[in-house]
Amino acid sequence: MTHSRSEQLDNRNTRQTDQARGCLSGLFLPPLVVLCFGIMLGFLVSNLKVNDAHGQALATQDPARSSVLAPLFTPEIQYWGTDIQRWSAEHGLDPNLAATVMQIESCGNPDARSSAGASGLFQVMPFHFLADENAFDPETNALRGLNYLANSLKTSGGDARLAFAGYNGGIGVIGNSESAWAAETIRYAYWGSGIYADATNNASTSSRLDEWLAAGGASLCQKAKARLGLSQ
C-alpha cells in the first residue's frame, strides 16, 4: 500500500514521538539511554541498601540473638552453656532466658525433683512427657521445658516477666490480674525478671541473683555442684 508524502512525514513523526516515550525504546538517542539506565541502576542500589538495613534490623530483634551466656550465671549453669545455646536456638529463645529458668528451677541439677513432682533441669511436670520418655534425661527435659517456655513467651506477647509467671503458675495466669497470682508465682516473676534483665546487659553480677541465692537458691546450687562433680 502506498502513502502520500505528508502521510509518510506524519508516520515518521509519530514513530519518533513513541520512541521518545520509553527509556528503552529510543535506541537512536544514546544520551537518553544512558540517563534511563543510570536512573534504574540508582533505584536498584537504593532498594538493596534499604532491604539490607531492614534485614540487619530484623536480625537484632532475633529472640535467639545471644551467642553466649551472660557471666553472671552460677558455675552450675555455665556448665550447661553450650547445651543451653543449642536448645534455645531450636525453640527460638534467647539463651539467657532459658538459663534464667534453669538457674531458678534446678541450678543445673539434672536430677532435681520438687515436692509437687516436677523434675529435671527445667522442673517439668509429669503430664508434659510422653509415657515412654525419661523426664530426667537432659535433652528430653529441655525439649518439654523450653517448648512450654516458648509458648508462655508467645502468649505474653514477648513480655519476659509475664512469661516467667506463666512458666511457674501455668500459661493461664498471664491473662489474670497479678493480685490473683499465687505468692510463689509473684516471687518467681520477681526473681526471673531481675536476673534476666541483668543477663541481657551481659552483666558479670546480679543483685537479684544474689537475693535468690540468699533466699534458698544457694542450697539448690550446692546439690547441683555435687551432682555435676564441680569443685567446691
In this structure, what CATH number is given to the domain that contains residue 106? 1.10.530.10
Burial of 160: CB neighbours in 10 Å, binned 0-12, 13-18, 19+: buried
Residue 232's pLDDT is: 65
Q: Are 193 and 83 found together in one domain?
A: yes
32 or 96, higher pLDDT? 96
Domain presence at residue 204:
yes
Residue 231's pLDDT is: 81
Q: Are 215 and 183 found together in one domain?
A: yes
Number of domain units in the chain:
2
Amino acid at 194: G
Phi, psi dihedral angles at 100 (to 5 degrees): -65, -40
Per-residue pLDDT of 64-106, as tens digits, reads 344 489 999 999 999 999 999 999 999 999 999 999 999 999 9
pLDDT band at 230, cuts 50/70/90?
very high
Distance, in Å, from the CA atom of 199 to the CA atom of 73, rounded to the nearest integer, reads: 8
Beta-carbon contacts of 10 under 8 Å, excluding residues fewer than 6 positions away, are: none
DSSP 137: S
End-to-end CA distance of the chain: 105
Domain encompassing residue 198: 75-228
CA angle 206, 226, 127 (to 5 degrees): 80
Q: Are 201 and 111 found together in one domain?
A: yes
Which pTM value belongs to this model?
A: 0.72
